């Protein structure tokens, strides 16, 4: 993951003396042409807005109210307000536990799909179909199921298992469940791909040498599917960390996550400078996490 740009650069350096200068020049020209649309896209729609946002994060107030001055007070506010720290920690807690839950529950499923199931592709497509609908729609589906007069409560009531409707929505459980459900494919697909690449003969060899199934799982299957585990966990962690919909639609006021807070700061609070500052802190935190994951995963990678 982390090492790939580096290696490709050294490869190119190796090739250089072997290719004649003119051809090399043309190749470079072609490469530029191929990369141009993508780079331009990223530049116009990501980099420029990000820079604009960064400028906002340093402004003292919204420009249409009064002429702003440059200041670091937004960052100071963000760091010194305990509410934001609380929200940040809560977000980290939610996304960590969602990642862990997804890892634990998706690994067996992905293993079954990759190694045991007969109609792997069909089952995989069935698993993915719900995720072809919009995330908003799925969040509302949960509301329909879990609200006080929702299907779950009605059913439990009819079965006389509960006296009065349970409060299933607008708490942290609903938020975690919403996140969990939203990111199942993000976890399943990399795991499925990684486990599928583990050679069956290695599992047989392990068994043959006297390992029971747990030992085989622990010593062979998991280490060899680690690339999938790392990328799945990274995807889910980042995606759930920045999720807005689940906390907004399924959570109560005490379950807000950082992205929903940023969203509200921009829209309801109309405080773009503070929102921008919070966004950049979030970005920095996630970059740090990503860097950490890369370092760890480059350690665990073996020679292939």
Residues that bind another protein (CB under 8 A): 199, 201-202, 204-212, 215, 219-220, 223-224, 302-304
Give me the residues paired with residue 70 across strands.
59
Of residues 203 and 293, the one with the C-beta less far from another protein: 203
Of residues 29 and 218, the one with the C-beta less far from another protein: 218
Of residues 164 and 200, the one with the C-beta less far from another protein: 200
- For residue 227, the minimal CB distance to another protein (Å) is 11
Give the helix ranges, DSSP H, for the chain: 4-15, 21-42, 48-57, 73-80, 82-111, 120-128, 135-146, 151-158, 172-182, 184-197, 200-208, 213-216, 222-224, 226-241, 245, 258-267, 272-300
Query: Any residues with CB less than 8 A from the CB of 216 and at least 6 apart, and which?
Result: 203, 206, 207
- For residue 296, the minimal CB distance to another protein (Å) is 15
- For residue 212, the minimal CB distance to another protein (Å) is 6
Written as six digits, the tokens of 64 are 């249409």
- Rounded Cα distance between 223 and 302, Å, is 9
- For residue 181, the minimal CB distance to another protein (Å) is 33
- Rounded Cα distance between 209 and 201, Å, is 12
CB atoms under 10 Å from CB of 234, counted, come to 21
- Rounded Cα distance between 248 and 169, Å, is 11
Contact 227, 301 (CB under 8 A): yes
- Rounded Cα distance between 181 and 140, Å, is 13
Of residues 115 and 138, the one with the C-beta less far from another protein: 115
- For residue 298, the minimal CB distance to another protein (Å) is 14
Of residues 182 and 216, the one with the C-beta less far from another protein: 216
Of residues 205 and 291, the one with the C-beta less far from another protein: 205
- For residue 290, the minimal CB distance to another protein (Å) is 24
Of residues 211 and 239, the one with the C-beta less far from another protein: 211
Contact 232, 187 (CB under 8 A): yes
- Rounded Cα distance between 286 and 203, Å, is 36
- For residue 197, the minimal CB distance to another protein (Å) is 11
């Amino acid at each position: 993951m982390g090492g790939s740009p580096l290696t490709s650069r050294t490869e190119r350096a190796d090739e250089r003396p072997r290719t004649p200068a003119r051809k090399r020049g043309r190749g470079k020209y072609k490469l530029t042409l191929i990369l141009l649309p993508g780079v331009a896209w990223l530049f116009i729609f990501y980099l420029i807005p990000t820079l604009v946002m960064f400028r906002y994060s340093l402004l003292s107030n919204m420009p249409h109210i009064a002429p702003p001055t440059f200041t670091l007070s937004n960052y100071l506010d963000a760091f010194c307000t305990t509410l934001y720290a609380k929200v940040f920690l809560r977000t980290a807690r939610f996304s960590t536990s969602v990642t862990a839950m997804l890892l634990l529950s998706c690994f067996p499923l992905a293993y079954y799909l990759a190694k045991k199931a007969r109609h792997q592709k069909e089952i995989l497509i069935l698993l993915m179909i719900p995720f072809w609908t919009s995330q908003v729609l799925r969040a509302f589906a949960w509301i329909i199921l879990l609200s006080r007069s929702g299907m779950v409560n009605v059913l439990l009531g009819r079965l006389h298992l509960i006296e009065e409707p349970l409060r299933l929505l607008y708490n942290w459980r609903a938020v975690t469940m919403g996140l969990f459900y939203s990111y199942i494919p993000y976890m399943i697909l990399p795991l499925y791909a990684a486990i599928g690449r583990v050679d069956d003969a290695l599992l047989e060899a392990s068994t043959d040498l006297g390992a029971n199934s747990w030992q085989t799982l622990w010593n062979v299957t998991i280490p060899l599917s680690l690339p999938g585990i790392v990328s799945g966990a990274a995807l889910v962690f980042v995606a759930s960390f920045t999720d807005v919909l689940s906390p907004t639609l399924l959570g109560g006021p005490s379950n807000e996550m950082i992205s929903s807070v940023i969203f509200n700061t921009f829209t309801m609070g109309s405080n773009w400078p503070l929102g921008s500052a919070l966004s950049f802190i979030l970005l920095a935190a996630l970059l740090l996490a990503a860097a950490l994951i890369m370092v760890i995963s480059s350690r665990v990678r073996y020679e292939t």
